[in-house]
Every structure is written in C-alpha cells, then in structure tokens.
C-alpha cells in the first residue's frame, strides 16, 4: 500500500466516522427529547442487551478475515465462506439465547419486542462486518465509509418520520433494521461487483478449526470489552428502573461521543508500534510518549470543559426531564481521560506480543465492573453506574501501564512535566468557562473556552504545527513499512 493510498483511506474513514457519529448523536437528541426518559431507558436497554451477544456471534473472526485477505487475496473467498457458514449456524443459537434470556429475566412485553428486533439487527450487522472485513483486507475503506454514513442517514430520516407520526417504540427501533439491511446488501454487492467475490456457505472442518484457533484471543478480548461497555445499562435496567437507564444513557452518549477519535488514533499507531517493537525499542518508547502526549492534550480539555459547562448545556439540548443526567455526565467525563490513554496502552501490549496480558486486564476489568455495578447501583442508581465506570477504566489504566513499564523504557518525566502544563492550561480554561457561563450562551462559552485552551497550550509550547507534522509523517511512514512486512 502506498503512503498516499494509506493516508486517503485513513482520512476518508475517519471523516466518515465523524459524520456518522455526528448524525447518530443528532438523532439521539431527537429521540431522547421526544420519547421521554422511561421509553428512552427501554430503547437503550434493548440495544445494549443485544450488543453483549454480538461478540459471541463474531468471536473475532472478522479480524482473521482482514489479516488473511491482506496476506493472500486468493484465499479470501474460502475463509469468508467458512466464516459465513459458522455465523449461519451461530445466528440461530445466539438469537434463541437472546430470546430465552429476555423472557427468563421477566421483562414486560414491550421490552421483549424491542429486544427481538434489536437481535435481528445484531445478526445482520455481524454478516455485514465480515463482508467489510474482506474489503478491508483489500486495503479499501472507501466503501465501508460510504456504507456507515448512508446507514446512519437512513436511520435518521426514517426515525424522524416515525417520531413525527408517533408510530411507537417497536417501529422506531425497526429503523435500525432498515439501515442494517441496506448496509448488508450494499457490502454484499460491493464484494461481488468490485472484488469478484461471491460469498457462499461452506463448512470445511480443517479451515474452521484454523479460524477458531486464530480468532480465540480476539474473541476473548472482544467479549470482555463488550461486557464492561454494555453491562452497566443492563444491570441498571434490572436493579433500578427504565427511568434510571434513560437518565444514564444521555450522560453516557455525551461523554463518549468523541471516543472514536481515540479509537482511530489507536488504529493508526498500532502498525507503527509493531514495527518499532521489532526494529527499535528506543523509537518505540518515543512514539508511545508522543501518542500518550497527544491524547492527554485532547482528553483533558474535553473532560474539564464538559464538566464545567454540563449544568448549562444538558437541559437546553435534551430538555428539563434530563436534568439529573448532569452529575453522572460529570463523573463519566473523568472516565474519558482514562479511556483515551488506555487505547495506546492496549495497542502497545498487543504489538509487543502481550495480547494475553491485555486480555487478562480486560477480563479483570469486566469482572470488577460487574461487581462495582452490583454494589453501587442499589445504593446510588445511575450515579452508581457512572462511578463504577470511572473506577473500571482507572483499574484498566493501572493494569495496562504497569505492564507497559515492564516492556519498554520511556520518558516518564517528560510526560509528567507535560501533564502539569496541560492541567495549568485546563485550569485557565476552566476559570474562564465558570466566569462566562452565567452571562453567555453555552455554545459561545464552549468556543471561547476552546480558544483560550489552545492559546495557553501554544504559549506553553505544548502544540506547534511543526511537531504535529513530524508526528504524522513518522506515523504514516512506519505504518506503510509495517504493512509491507506483514503481507510479504
């Protein structure tokens, strides 16, 4: 892959994700305002409940499709056919499990119906994920970028029509099914027309065993990740009320609206980490420091800023009925700091052949998250879920950075000095926001706060165009070299 094509793929996909997230957040605002807190709780529970089972259906096989297609495009159809064969069988089992559990748990009929539809969305999306996995293996993210954006546009337009016509929650959640069906047939047609791959259904014992063995580490890590990212909503629904879920999910959506930035960043640095782990431990340490530096530089002002402006922004955006979301939002924004810096830590562990350690860390975090929610929800409801989230990501950070310290030497003093300067800049921004928010519209205050932060960061020499360009140049170059080594 050329540097130009690599850069185009990265920019195109990141832009598409940004557009998709923006449309998704806009749609979420409309839904939250128009259906009410309790209905929002039911709606969000159904999506979160089925999300937990999505990883059980894919079990990391898409990662194998990407890798094996990149290595040998001639084998992509063989592996895809066997993955589809496994997923066809798995779909019946997983969907039956979803239906059985939601009935055993004793939820009302409306909640069950929402889960039934969300389960169908989960299954269709799993097949689409595999199709896009093969396309990714062909070093093409353009079609997936188009698919995710059009999917979200369909959901937004159809959903607004359903809300306007008052057709009910079951029809409202069905718009996700409509969007998923489009993405399924779009990705399928791209495979056939652009890459001459005709997905079939095959059950080859030797190939299936190979796929399952290869995908096991990805599966375990993915399952743990899904559990602690969705379990809080499920437990909150069971141990508290739909109202509590509705309040919590608004705070959660706001706090994690920009998480995709750290995810895309992590995907970019991972190949570079792989390269330097083999060729230069010194440069590996330098790149890790830069990655942590840039993510902290972004995460801290986001956290400080939203914490400061939350009491002025939540009600105008979502309505007075979501005023209780302010406190859990402020707690979750503290979590965002640890979430951002956990991405490069996880990438470092995987790149350094410590994926087992990373999986264990995720497992311990998932277990801790479940126990913390079980203890805190009965006492503090949605605030307890927010606290459990914060403590869980703090634990994941401590476990991860401890493991990283055993792998490489890096300039900890530089990071600590930089952290001190960033905190000073954030405090300056915080003071300005607290002073201005009583007199100006919150949108104006956000813009002024961001401008003050970047001016202070520039004054403290935390940011410069030259440093950013050098980091991007080094990252892009290493990504290209690593990729060539993998496919050769």
- Residues contacting residue 433 through CB under 8 Å, at least 6 positions apart: 305, 308, 309, 445, 448, 449
pLDDT average, residue stretch 177-181: 95
Which pLDDT band holds residue 473 (cuts at 50, 70, 90)?
low
User: What is the chain's Cα-based Rg?
Assistant: 23
Residues 345 and 353 sit within 8 Å (Cβ to Cβ): no
**pLDDT given for residue 488 in this prediction:** 32
Q: What is the DSSP string of 254-305?
A: HHTTTHHHHHHHHHHHHHHHHHHHHH-HHHHHHHHHHHHHHHHHHHHHHHHH
Span of 30-34, 140-144, 238-242, 321-325 with lowest mean pLDDT: 140-144
Distance (Å, rounded) from C-alpha 451 to C-alpha 456?
Answer: 9
**pLDDT given for residue 19 in this prediction:** 84
**pLDDT given for residue 223 in this prediction:** 78
- The pair phi, psi for residue 378, each rounded to 5°, is -60, -25
**pLDDT given for residue 6 in this prediction:** 52
Residue with tokens 């080859």: 204
Tens-digit pLDDT profile for residues 130-157: 898 888 777 777 888 889 899 999 999 9
Closest to 412 measured CA to CA, from 400, 403, 401: 401
The torsion region of residue 203 among left (phi > 0), alpha (psi -120 to 50) and beta comes to: beta
**pLDDT given for residue 193 in this prediction:** 86
Tens-digit pLDDT profile for residues 77-124: 888 888 899 999 999 999 999 999 999 988 899 999 999 999 999 999
- Residues contacting residue 213 through CB under 8 Å, at least 6 positions apart: none
Tens-digit pLDDT profile for residues 257-312: 777 777 767 766 776 787 788 778 888 898 899 889 989 999 999 999 999 999 99
Token reading at 348:
């470092």
For residue 178, pLDDT beyond 60: yes
Quick one: CA torsion of 61, 65, 66, 68, rounded to 10 degrees?
Answer: 130
Distance (Å, rounded) from C-alpha 330 to C-alpha 255?
Answer: 8
Residues 130 and 87 sit within 8 Å (Cβ to Cβ): yes
Percent of the chain at pLDDT above 70?
A: 91
Q: Which of the residue ranges 46-50, 460-464, 467-471 has the most confident prediction, judged by mean pLDDT?
A: 46-50
**pLDDT given for residue 267 in this prediction:** 64
Tens-digit pLDDT profile for residues 391-434: 999 999 999 999 999 989 999 999 999 999 999 999 999 999 99
Distance of alpha carbon 274 from the chain centroid: 22
Tens-digit pLDDT profile for residues 37-77: 999 999 989 988 898 888 788 888 887 787 777 667 777 78
Helix (H, G, I), strand (E, B) or coil at 366: helix
**pLDDT given for residue 483 in this prediction:** 35
**pLDDT given for residue 80 in this prediction:** 87
Mean pLDDT of the chain: 86
Is the pLDDT higher at 450 or at 202? 450
Residues 422 and 462 sit within 8 Å (Cβ to Cβ): yes
- The pair phi, psi for residue 452, each rounded to 5°, is -65, -40
Terminal Cα-to-Cα distance of the chain (whole angstroms): 12
């Amino acid at each position: 892959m050329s540097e130009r094509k690599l850069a185009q793929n990265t920019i195109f996909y990141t832009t598409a994700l940004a557009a998709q997230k923006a449309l998704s957040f806009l749609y979420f605002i409309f839904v939250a305002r128009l259906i009410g807190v309790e209905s929002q709780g039911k709606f969000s529970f159904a999506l979160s409940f089925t999300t937990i089972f999505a990883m059980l259906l894919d079990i990391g096989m898409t990662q194998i499709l990407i890798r094996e297609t990149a290595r040998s495009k001639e084998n992509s159809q063989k592996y895809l056919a066997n993955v589809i064969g496994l997923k066809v069988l798995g779909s019946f089992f997983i969907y039956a499990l979803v239906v059985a559990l939601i009935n055993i748990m004793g939820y009302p009929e409306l909640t069950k119906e929402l889960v039934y539809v969300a389960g169908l969305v989960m299954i269709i999306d799993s097949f689409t994920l595999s199709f896009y996995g093969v396309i990714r293996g062909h070093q093409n993210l353009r079609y997936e970028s188009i698919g995710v954006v059009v999917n979200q546009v369909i959901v937004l337009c159809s959903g607004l029509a359903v809300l306007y016509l008052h057709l009910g929650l079951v029809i409202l959640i069905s718009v996700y099914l409509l969007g998923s069906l489009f993405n399924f047939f779009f990705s399928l047609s791209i495979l056939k027309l652009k890459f001459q791959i005709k997905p079939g259904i095959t059950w080859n014992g030797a190939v299936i065993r190979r796929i399952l063995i290869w995908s096991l580490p990805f599966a375990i890590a993915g399952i743990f990740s899904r559990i602690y990212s969705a379990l809080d909503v499920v437990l909150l629904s069971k141990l508290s009320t739909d109202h509590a879920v509705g309040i919590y999910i608004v705070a959660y959506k706001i706090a994690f609206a920009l998480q995709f930035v750290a995810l895309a960043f992590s995907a970019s640095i991972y190949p570079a980490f792989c390269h330097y782990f083999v060729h230069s431990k010194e440069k590996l340490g330098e790149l890790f420091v830069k990655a942590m530096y840039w993510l902290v530089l972004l995460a801290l002002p986001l956290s400080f800023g939203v914490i400061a402006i939350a009491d002025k922004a939540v009600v105008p955006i979502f309505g007075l009925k979501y005023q209780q979301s302010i406190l859990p939002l402020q707690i979750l924004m503290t979590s965002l700091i640890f979430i951002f810096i956990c991405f490069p830590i996880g990438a470092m562990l995987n790149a350094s052949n410590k994926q087992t350690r990373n999986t264990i860390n995720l497992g311990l975090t998932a277990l801790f998250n479940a126990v913390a929610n079980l203890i805190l929800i009965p006492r503090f409801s949605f605030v307890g879920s927010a606290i459990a989230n914060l403590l869980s990501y703090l634990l994941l950070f401590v476990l991860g950075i401890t493991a990283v310290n055993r792998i490489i030497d890096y300039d900890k003093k530089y990071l600590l000095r930089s952290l001190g300067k960033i905190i000073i800049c954030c405090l300056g921004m915080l003071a300005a926001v607290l002073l201005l928010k009583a007199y100006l519209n919150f949108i104006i205050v956000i813009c002024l706060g961001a401008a003050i932060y970047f001016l202070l960061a520039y004054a403290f020499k935390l940011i410069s165009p030259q440093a950013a360009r050098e980091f991007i140049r080094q990252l892009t170059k290493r990504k290209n070299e690593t990729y060539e080594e993998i496919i050769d």
